[in-house]
C-alpha cells in the first residue's frame, strides 16, 4: 500500500465516525430520531466498509510490506531539536485487527442501540457520543505518534465519561462517570510522563555499516545523537538506545503499564469498571468489547519493542494481569447485578490478555482480544435484552425461568457463557492458547499457568452461575414471569455475535484446536523484528496438547459444579463455606474485597480532611489580602462617587473649572518657556 492510499483510507476511517458524531450532535436534535438512527449507524457502517478495504490491502500486500506509515498533515513544528508532531497513521496487521473489531463489533452494537434507545429522549446525544467513542478509539489505534496516541487515549476517556454519565439525572451515574474519569486521568498522567522520558532520552542507534567487498561505506559509523522525537516508528527503531534492561526503560515501561492498567481496569486501578455499568447497556458492550478496556492491551502490544527490553516491567505486567484475573473471577462469583457479573468477567478476561502480552505472547493476547470482543459484546447485548424484558431489573435474584420466555436470547446467552467459560466455543481456543504460552514463559513459569487454571475453574463457575440463576429455574418475580422476547433489531446483532462466538475460533484454528492459529501467522510479522524469533517461545506440540486438555477439563469442572449448584440444586455450597477457614470468603467476594472502602479510607477521606483543614487555614490568609486590595479600590471609588450628582449644572461647572485651570496652566507654561 502506498503512503497516499494509506493516508486516504485512514483519513476516511477517522472521518466517518467524527462526521456521524457531529451530524447527530448538531442537527440530530432538530431532524429527529429517524435521522439520528440512520446517521449514527451508517457512519460506523461506512467506517467498517473502509476497514474491510484496508484489511484486503494489508492481506494482499507482499510479505514484509504490510506495514505502512503515512502522514496526514504536520500539526506542530517547533524546529529541529524540539518537538515536532505530525499526524501520522500506521496501518499494519495489528492496527487492522483492532480496526476490524472496533468498527465491526461497534457497528453491531450501534444497530442494537437503535432498538435499545427507542424510547429515550436523548437519542441524538447518545449516538453523537457513541460515534465519538469509535472515532477516539480509531485515532488511538492508528496513531503513529505518541502525542496523537495520547490525544486518542484521552478522547476515549472523555467519551467513556460522557456515556457512563449519560443518564445524568441519576446521581449514581454521575458519580460513576467521575470515578472513571479520575482513574483514567491517573493513567493519562503516567503515559505523559513516559512520553516525556522517551522524548528526553531517546538517542539514535549507530548504524554499523559493513561495506560490500571492494567498496567503501558512504556513511561511516554515525555517532549517536538525541533524536527529540515522539514518532512511534522512530522510538521503536531506536529503542535499544534507552538501554536494554536499564532502570530507565523499566521505569518507562512501568509508566506505560500504569496507563494500560487504568484503561483496561487492572489492579489497582480497576474499581471504575463495575461502576461504569451505570451507563446504558450498549455502552457497556462498547466499552468492554470493542473499545476502551482493550486499549491497554493494545498499548502494551504496540510498545512491544520497549517491553521486550524491560523484562522486569513485563514480568510485573504478567503478574498483575493474572492477579486481576483471579481476583475479578472471585468477585464475580457473588455479584447479583447481571451487568456487574459480566463486568467482572471482562476484568478477568482482560487480565488474561494483559498476562499474555506481559509474557511476550502478543499474538495470543490479541487472539483472546478478538474472540473476547465477540462473546463479550454478545453477553452484554443479550443481558440488555433481558433487562429490557424484565423492565429495567438488573438483579439476577429477581429473574429466573427466562429460557422458555426468551428462547433466542437464552440460546445466544448460553453460547456466550460457553465461549466465556472456554468450552467448545471462542474462549476455548484463545484462553488455552495463551495459557499454553504461560507453561514455559513468564516469571516463575509455570507458576502463573497454575493460577490460570484456577481462573478457568472460576470462569466456568461464575459464567454458569449467571446463566443458571437468570435463565433456568422458576421465575422469581412478576416481571420475569411476564418477560417476552425483544424486537428483531435487538435480536439480530445478538444472533450474529453468537454465530461469530461459536464459529470464529473453529475457523481461525482449523484444522487443530491447539497450537498455531491464523491470527498468530497474521500478527507475528509485527511482533518479530527481522532476524529474531518471537519473544515468547511457543510450547511444543505435546506440551500444547497436555495444556489444552488440562485447561478445558478445568473449565468443565467449573461448569459442572456451577450446574449442580445453581441449576440442579443438588449441591449446597453453604455447608462447605461454613467451615471456619472459609467463612470469610463469601463476604469478601460480595463486597468486592472491600476495594472501594479501602480506597475511601486511604485516599478519599485523607484528601477531604486535608482540603477541609486547608480551607480553615486558607480562608483567613488568602481572603485577608484579597479583601484588603479590593477594599482600597472600593474606598478610592466611593470618594469619587459623591461628585456624580447627575445634575447638568454640576457637570458644566466642572467643565468650566477645568477649562479655566487648563487655560491658565497653558498660559503659565508659555510664559515660563519664554
Partner 1 sequence: MTLSQAMFPWLLLTAAFLFTLGALGVLIRRNPLVVFMCIELMLNAVNLALVGYSSYLNSEEGQVFAFMVIVVAAAEVVVGLGLLTRVFSIGRELDVDDLDELKQ
Q: What are the backbone angles phi and psi of residue 76, rounded to the nearest 5°?
A: -145, 130
Q: How far is the CB of 650 from partner 1 (least distance, A)?
A: 9
Residues in the chain: 674
The residue range among 187-195, 233-241, 442-450, 639-647 that interacts with partner 1, by the rule CB under 8 A, is 639-647
User: Interface with partner 1 includes 638 (CB under 8 A)?
Assistant: no
Question: How many CA within 13 A on the CB side of residue 29?
Answer: 7
The residue range among 20-28, 512-520, 597-605, 645-653 that interacts with partner 1, by the rule CB under 8 A, is 645-653
The residue among 218 and 647 lying less far from partner 1, judged by its C-beta, is 647
Say which residue the cell 465516525 belongs to: 17
272 CB-near residues (< 8 Å, 6+ apart): 176, 179, 180, 182, 183, 184, 265
Q: How far is the CB of 665 from partner 1 (least distance, A)?
A: 19
CB 336 within 8 A of CB 396: yes
The residue range among 134-142, 209-217, 336-344, 641-649 that interacts with partner 1, by the rule CB under 8 A, is 641-649
Q: How far is the CB of 644 from partner 1 (least distance, A)?
A: 5
Closest by Cα among 75, 68, 72 to 95:
68
Q: How far is the CB of 643 from partner 1 (least distance, A)?
A: 10
The residue among 624 and 645 lying less far from partner 1, judged by its C-beta, is 645
The residue among 220 and 653 lying less far from partner 1, judged by its C-beta, is 653
User: Interface with partner 1 includes 656 (CB under 8 A)?
Assistant: yes
> Percentage helix, strand, coil, to 5, in the chain?
75, 5, 25
C-alpha cell at 394: 438488573
User: Interface with partner 1 includes 639 (CB under 8 A)?
Assistant: no
The residue among 2 and 653 lying less far from partner 1, judged by its C-beta, is 653
Q: How far is the CB of 635 from partner 1 (least distance, A)?
A: 20
C-alpha cell at 249: 526503560
The residue among 633 and 643 lying less far from partner 1, judged by its C-beta, is 643
Q: How far is the CB of 641 from partner 1 (least distance, A)?
A: 9
User: Interface with partner 1 includes 663 (CB under 8 A)?
Assistant: no
Please list every residue from 62 through 101 that binds partner 1, using CB under 8 A.
none
The residue range among 241-249, 314-322, 565-573, 651-659 that interacts with partner 1, by the rule CB under 8 A, is 651-659
User: Interface with partner 1 includes 213 (CB under 8 A)?
Assistant: no
Q: How far is the CB of 668 from partner 1 (least distance, A)?
A: 19
The residue range among 338-346, 459-467, 574-582, 640-648 that interacts with partner 1, by the rule CB under 8 A, is 640-648
Alpha helices in 118-270, H assignment, sequence order: 123-142, 146-164, 171-201, 232-237, 247-264
Indicate if the alpha-carbon torsion angle 468, 469, 474, 479 is positive or negative: negative
The residue among 64 and 646 lying less far from partner 1, judged by its C-beta, is 646
The residue among 646 and 671 lying less far from partner 1, judged by its C-beta, is 646
C-alpha cell at 336: 447479583
**Binding partner 1 by CB under 8 A: which of 64, 392, 645, 674?**
645
**Binding partner 1 by CB under 8 A: which of 507, 603, 610, 652?**
652
**Binding partner 1 by CB under 8 A: which of 62, 633, 648, 672?**
648
User: Interface with partner 1 includes 653 (CB under 8 A)?
Assistant: yes
The residue among 575 and 649 lying less far from partner 1, judged by its C-beta, is 649
Closest by Cα among 479, 527, 233 to 364:
527
The residue range among 18-26, 517-525, 624-632, 652-660 that interacts with partner 1, by the rule CB under 8 A, is 652-660
**Binding partner 1 by CB under 8 A: which of 511, 542, 646, 671?**
646
In the DSSP assignment, the letter for residue 537 is P
C-alpha cell at 72: 496526514
The residue range among 93-101, 459-467, 550-558, 638-646 that interacts with partner 1, by the rule CB under 8 A, is 638-646
d(CA 666, CA 136): 70
Q: How many residues make contact with partner 1 (CB under 8 A)?
A: 10
Query: In whole angstroms, how large is the CA radius of gyration of the chain?
Result: 30
C-alpha cell at 538: 511457543
User: Interface with partner 1 includes 649 (CB under 8 A)?
Assistant: yes
User: Interface with partner 1 includes 654 (CB under 8 A)?
Assistant: no
The residue range among 31-39, 257-265, 492-500, 642-650 that interacts with partner 1, by the rule CB under 8 A, is 642-650
User: Interface with partner 1 includes 637 (CB under 8 A)?
Assistant: no
The residue among 223 and 645 lying less far from partner 1, judged by its C-beta, is 645
The residue among 620 and 646 lying less far from partner 1, judged by its C-beta, is 646
User: Interface with partner 1 includes 651 (CB under 8 A)?
Assistant: yes
Closest by Cα among 14, 198, 10 to 90:
10
The residue among 579 and 649 lying less far from partner 1, judged by its C-beta, is 649
d(CA 519, CA 508): 7
Is the preceding omega at residue 511 within 30 degrees of 0, hence cis?
yes
User: Interface with partner 1 includes 647 (CB under 8 A)?
Assistant: yes
Q: CB neighbours (10 Å) of residue 262?
A: 28
Please list every residue from 261 through 290 that binds partner 1, using CB under 8 A.
none
Closest by Cα among 543, 556, 561, 558 to 424:
556
Indicate if the alpha-carbon torsion angle 529, 101, 52, 510 is positive or negative: positive
d(CA 463, CA 532): 40
d(CA 98, CA 104): 10
Q: How far is the CB of 174 from partner 1 (least distance, A)?
A: 44
Q: Which residues pair with 145 in a beta bridge?
A: 231
CA 584 to chain centre: 33
| 3-class secondary-structure state, position 619 | helix
Q: How far is the CB of 649 from partner 1 (least distance, A)?
A: 6
The residue among 82 and 637 lying less far from partner 1, judged by its C-beta, is 637
Closest by Cα among 272, 259, 445 to 355:
445
Closest by Cα among 270, 274, 280, 263 to 168:
280
d(CA 398, CA 436): 40
The residue among 62 and 647 lying less far from partner 1, judged by its C-beta, is 647
Q: What are the backbone angles phi and psi of residue 74, rounded to the nearest 5°?
A: -90, 120
Residues near partner 1 (CB under 8 A)? 644-649, 651-653, 656
Amino acid at each position: 500500500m502506498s503512503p497516499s492510499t494509506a493516508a486516504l483510507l485512514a483519513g476516511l476511517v477517522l472521518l466517518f465516525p467524527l462526521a456521524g458524531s457531529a451530524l447527530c450532535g448538531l442537527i440530530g436534535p432538530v431532524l429527529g430520531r429517524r435521522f439520528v438512527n440512520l446517521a449514527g449507524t451508517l457512519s460506523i457502517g461506512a467506517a467498517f466498509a473502509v476497514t474491510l478495504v484496508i484489511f484486503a490491502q494489508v492481506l494482499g500486500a507482499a510479505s514484509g510490506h504490510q506495514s505502512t506509515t503515512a502522514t496526514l498533515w504536520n500539526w506542530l513544528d517547533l524546529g529541529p531539536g524540539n518537538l515536532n508532531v505530525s499526524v501520522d497513521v500506521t496501518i499494519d496487521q495489528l492496527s487492522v485487527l483492532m480496526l476490524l473489531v472496533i468498527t465491526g463489533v461497534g457497528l453491531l452494537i450501534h444497530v442494537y442501540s437503535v432498538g435499545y434507545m427507542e424510547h429515550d429522549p436523548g437519542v441524538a446525544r447518545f449516538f453523537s457520543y457513541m460515534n465519538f467513542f469509535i472515532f477516539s478509539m480509531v485515532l488511538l489505534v492508528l496513531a503513529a505518534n505518541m502525542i496523537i496516541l495520547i490525544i486518542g487515549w484521552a478522547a476515549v476517556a472523555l467519551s467513556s465519561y460522557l456515556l457512563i454519565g449519560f443518564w445524568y439525572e441519576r446521581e449514581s451515574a454521575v458519580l460513576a462517570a467521575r470515578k472513571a474519569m479520575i482513574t483514567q486521568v491517573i493513567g493519562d498522567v503516567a503515559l505523559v510522563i513516559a512520553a516525556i522520558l522517551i522524548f528526553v532520552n531517546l538517542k539514535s542507534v549507530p548504524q554499523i555499516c559493513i561495506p560490500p567487498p571492494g567498496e567503501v561505506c558512504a556513511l561511516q559509523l554515525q555517532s549517536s545523537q538525541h533524536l527529540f522525537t515522539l514518532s512511534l516508528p522512530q522510538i521503536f527503531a531506536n529503542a535499544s538506545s534507552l538501554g536494554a534492561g536499564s532502570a530507565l526503560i523499566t521505569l518507562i515501561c512501568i509508566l506505560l503499564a500504569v496507563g494500560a492498567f487504568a484503561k483496561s481496569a487492572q489492579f489497582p486501578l480497576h474499581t471504575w469498571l463495575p461502576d461504569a455499568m451505570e451507563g446504558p447497556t450498549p455502552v457497556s458492550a462498547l466499552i468492554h468489547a470493542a473499545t476502551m478496556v482493550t486499549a491497554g492491551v493494545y498499548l502494551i502490544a504496540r510498545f512491544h519493542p520497549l517491553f521486550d527490553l524491560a523484562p522486569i516491567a513485563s514480568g510485573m505486567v504478567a503478574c498483575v494481569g493474572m492477579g486481576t484475573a483471579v481476583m475479578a473471577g472471585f468477585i464475580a462469583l457473588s455479584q447479583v447485578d447481571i451487568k456487574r457479573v459480566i463486568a467482572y468477567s471482562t476484568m478477568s478476561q482482560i487480565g488474561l490478555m494483559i498476562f499474555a502480552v506481559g509474557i511476550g505472547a502478543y499474538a495470543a493476547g490479541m487472539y483472546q482480544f478478538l474472540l473476547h470482543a465477540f462473546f463479550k459484546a454478545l453477553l452484554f447485548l443479550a443481558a440488555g435484552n433481558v433487562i429490557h424484558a424484565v423492565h429495567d431489573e438488573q438483579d439476577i435474584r429477581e429473574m429466573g425461568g427466562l429460557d422458555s420466555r426468551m428462547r433466542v436470547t437464552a440460546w445466544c446467552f448460553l453460547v456466550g457463557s460457553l465461549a466465556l467459560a472456554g468450552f467448545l466455543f471462542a474462549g476455548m481456543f484463545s484462553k488455552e492458547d495463551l495459557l499454553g504460552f504461560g507453561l514455559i514463559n513468564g516469571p516463575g513459569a509455570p507458576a502463573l499457568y497454575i493460577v490460570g487454571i484456577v481462573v478457568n475453574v472460576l470462569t466456568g463457575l461464575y459464567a454458569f452461575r449467571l446463566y443458571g440463576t437468570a435463565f433456568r429455574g422458576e421465575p422469581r418475580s412478576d416481571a420475569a414471569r411476564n418477560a417476552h422476547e425483544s424486537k428483531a433489531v435487538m435480536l439480530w446483532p445478538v444472533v450474529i455475535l453468537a454465530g461469530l462466538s461459536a464459529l470464529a475460533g473453529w475457523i481461525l484454528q482449523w484444522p487443530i484446536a491447539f497450537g498455531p492459529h491464523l491470527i498468530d501467522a497474521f500478527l507475528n510479522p509485527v511482533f518479530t523484528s527481522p532476524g529474531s524469533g518471537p519473544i515468547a517461545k511457543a510450547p511444543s506440540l505435546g506440551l500444547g496438547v497436555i495444556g489444552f486438555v488440562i485447561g478445558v477439563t478445568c473449565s468443565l469442572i467449573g461448569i459442572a459444579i456451577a450446574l449442580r449448584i445453581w441449576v440442579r440444586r443438588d449441591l449446597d455450597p453453604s455447608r462447605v463455606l461454613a467451615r471456619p477457614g472459609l467463612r470469610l470468603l463469601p463476604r469478601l467476594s460480595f463486597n468486592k474485597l472491600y476495594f472501594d472502602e479501602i480506597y475511601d479510607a486511604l485516599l478519599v477521606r485523607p484528601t477531604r480532611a486535608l482540603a477541609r483543614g486547608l480551607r480553615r487555614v486558607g480562608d483567613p490568609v488568602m481572603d485577608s489580602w484579597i479583601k484588603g486590595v479590593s477594599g482600597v479600590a472600593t474606598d478610592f471609588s466611593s470618594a469619587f462617587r459623591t461628585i456624580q450628582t447627575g445634575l447638568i449644572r454640576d457637570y458644566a461647572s466642572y467643565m468650566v473649572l477645568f477649562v479655566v485651570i487648563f487655560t491658565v496652566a497653558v498660559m503659565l507654561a508659555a510664559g515660563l518657556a519664554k
